[in-house]
Structure 1
Amino acid sequence: MKQDFCFLDVDEDEEDAQAVQPSSKESKKQSLTSTEEIVSGSVKGPMNLFITKKKTKGGKLRQTSINDACDKELRDRTVQKIARFMYQAAISFNAAHLDSFKEMIEAIGQYGPNLKPPSYHELRVPLLQKEIVYTNELLKENKDECEKYGCSIMSDGWTDRKQRTLINFLVNSPKGTMFLESVDASAHVKTRTLLYELLDRFVERVGEKNVVQVISDNGSNYVLAEDIGKIEVVRKTISRAIALVGFIYNHGSVLHMMRECTENKELARHGVTRFATTFLTFHAFFLE
């Protein structure tokens, strides 16, 4: 077969360049091969970070884009600054579980760049006043529940590192529990009269008609301050309840009948810790 050849005059440099450069098909083939080798992991290079395989939710593999890597780097830098602020301000790690913490981060992200942070004066005066109004609006539903269904005054005493006796006062209603105040009661806990005055103040604050019961520590000073068991009508009711429980458990036939009718329900028997068992005894008589 006859072949026609066409000879062109080229410089020696151009000949060398053409000799080392592959054809377009070969170049494309080599480029695809190199990419496949990098993706498969057989070849590692500086771009390997941006085209590594990553599984999607459906289980399929996709290439990690440059944007993904940049987003990860930006997030790492941002959350590190958030963490540093919490460390320097000695904020408890439990703050990360608060809804308000997550809402704050979301609000900052929605605002975008160039957000001017609140000043010392704003945090101390106007923003604080707005938060007080907002908190009172949240507590209004609890107060309405107290007036409608009644509530319990709860006091929780504890001692801090300075050996001060602090008492947290809370109000519990069907709507939930709300904090009233924390009081330094170091001068009150030793005297039942002063402790009674402190409890009475919070009962008046909530409203006597709304308070169903007062729940506190079982220390002797608290018992003396709010020993409602000495009220005649309450004393008689407690005595009858204790006598009834004793009668039931001292007569086998009556006990068997009670268990059969109440699906093996047991009654709380009066014990040494009367502050708790008296309430449990009454509660056991209540059949839903």
Structure 2
Amino acid sequence: MAFPHSDAQQQHIDTMLKKDKKGRIGRAIAKFFHFSHIPSHAASTPYYRSMIATIQKESLGVEPPTSYEISGKYLDAEVNNIHVWVKNLKQLWEMYGVTLICDSWTGPTKMSIIIFLIYYNGKVIFHKSIDATSRFEDADYIYALLEQVLCEVGKKCVVQVISDNGANYKKAGKLLMQRHPHLFWTSCAAHCINLMMSDFGEINRVKKTIDTAQRISKYLYNHLWIHALMVNFTGRELVRPGITRCATNVIALNSILQNKNGLKSMFASDEWQTSRYASTADEKSIEQIILSAKFWDYMKEIVDIVEALYVVLRLVDQEKIPQMGHAYYKLRMAKDNSKKTNPLWCQSFLKIIDRRWDVQMSRDLHLAGYYLNPSYHHCYNLGFDDELLKALRNVINR
């Protein structure tokens, strides 16, 4: 019988001890996370691993920082580091330019806050916030704030100002462009598309379909037995339509549409037909809607048309990759998709898209971004497109 080599035994012991140590450390860290109500995904941040590596490096016998030190000198040190980091970035702002973002928010207490952010090279930096609760936020007030922030950041540094689509911001943005010819003002693309989708919700057929979906959803979730039967046939819960926000309603309509077969099977089943719910007028009305081919056809047309725009909304609302060079193309694809779905009925949607986009967005800026995007420029041979070249010249001339 051969005995294992002593080195192999030592390695096995070391591995066991290492696992035991990791287990004890893991439990201690997890306990800190759990009892301090820190979400577990905080361990995915680079600062978590940096903290652990520093603790391991500095060896035993070092006292951990107190709460006073964490909220005092160490917080001050981090603030100073951020200031130094921003100061170093500022040296490049005049050369490459920055985007000034102005966003407003009103909370449940009716407190109105206006926030100013600076976007540069994929990084968003908080500049300052203004409590505008006691102020009348007309165009003149917004314009004065923007002028003040421009002076603080550096007028030569800012090449674009982005705000929401309110009439006051739009007027202030135009005044800003008149005063500073090198500047572009554009409204938030995500907000613009949200407004498009809200306008979609006012189209009579869309509104009726959403109202019907809300009625169905409310009915299915207001009765425990019916809800349980629905889950049994669909195998899942439904996303329920809300009262507002058309984007959420589109997701809800799509959820109901995906469960079409399950819902139809439910209302055609023996369990339903022999239940006490199947005989009342309200229930029969819901059953007729679910078994109606017209209802599902309307829903599919709406989802097919609006979902393409929802994809654009998700694209422009994400923060990882700048979307200036993609927004125009994606919106055009959404319009083309609408035409394929229902060439006649889609005209109402297309008018809303064109009206919102042309009136509220900086058309030249997005066209120039589309033209300069190499993934589209070569694929679609945009080099000699007169409309795009004109937009590009307009942007360069500013």
- Residue 120 of structure 1 deviates from its aligned partner by 3.1
Alignment match of 1:99 (pick from 41, 46, 49): 46
Instruction: Please list, as runs of the form range in 1=range in 2, the aligned pairs for 1:41-120 lying within 5 A after superposition.
Output: 65-120=12-67
Aligned to 1:150: 97
For residue 139 of structure 1, the aligned residue among 86, 98, 103 is 86
In the alignment, which residue of structure 1 is the partner of 2:167? 220
CA displacement at 1:190 relative to structure 2: 4.2
Alpha-carbon shift at residue 104 of structure 1 (Å): 0.9
Contact 2:143-2:176 within 8 A present in 1 as well: no
Alignment counterpart, residue 280 of structure 1, candidates 363, 366, 371:
366
- 1:138 Cα offset (Å): 1.4
Deviations 1:86-133 (A, max 9, x none): 333333444323222211110001112222111233223322222222
Counterpart for residue 346 of structure 2: none
Query: Identity over the aligned pairs, expressed in percent?
Result: 26
Q: CA deviation at 1:74?
A: 1.8
Q: Using the alignment, how far apart are the partners of 1:107 and 1:232 within structure 2?
A: 52
AA in 2 matched with 1:202 = V
Distance apart, 1:163 and its partner CA: 5.6
- After TM superposition, the score normalised by the length of structure 1 is 0.56
Matching of residues 180-199 of structure 1 within 5 Å: 180-188=127-135, 190-199=137-146
Is the 8 Å Cα contact of residues 156 and 169 (structure 1) preserved in structure 2?
Answer: yes
For residues 143 and 189 of structure 1, do their structure 2 counterparts lie closer, same or farther at Cα, with a shift above 3 Å needed? farther
Q: Is 1:201 matched up with 2:148?
A: yes
Give, in angstroms, the shift of residue 71 of structure 1.
Answer: 1.6
SS in 1 for 2:361: helix
| Residues 106 and 183 (structure 1), Cα distance of their counterparts in 2 relative to 1, 3 Å cut | farther
Residue type of the alignment partner of 1:178: I
Q: Give, in whole Å, the separation in 2 of the partners of 1:132 and 1:62.
A: 51
The structure with higher relative contact order (CA 8 Å, sep 6+) is 2
SS at match of 2:125: strand
Q: What amino acid does structure 2 have at the position aligned with 1:74?
A: K
CA contact (8 A) 1:141 1:175 kept: no
Question: Structure 1, unaligned stretches of length 5 or more?
Answer: 1-28, 37-60, 235-264
Question: Tell me, what secondary structure is at the counterpart of 1:113?
Answer: coil
Match of 1:154, as an amino acid?
I
TM-score normalised over the length of structure 2 = 0.42
Query: Any unmatched runs of 5+ in structure 2?
Result: 182-327, 333-352, 370-387
In the TM superposition, what is the alpha-carbon distance from 1:144 to its structure 2 partner?
0.9
Q: For the structure 1 residues 168 and 85, does the alpha-carbon distance in structure 2 shift closer, same or farther, using more than 3 Å as the test?
A: farther
Counterpart residue type for residue 69 of structure 1: M
Q: Aligned partner of 1:286: which letter? A: L
Structure 1 position 211 matched with structure 2 position 183: no
The range that moved more, 119-128 or 203-212, is 119-128
TM-fit CA distance, 1:77: 2.1
Partners of 1:129 and 1:92 in 2: how far apart? 24
After TM superposition, give the deviation of residue 231 of structure 1 in Å. Answer: 3.2
Partner secondary structure for residue 73 of structure 1: helix
How many residue pairs match? The answer is: 202
1:170-228 Cα deviation digits (max 9, x unpaired): 21234743222344444457443433333333222101222212111122232133224
* SS of equivalent to 2:18: helix
More helix by share: 2
What is the root-mean-square deviation in Å for CA atoms of aligned residues?
3.8
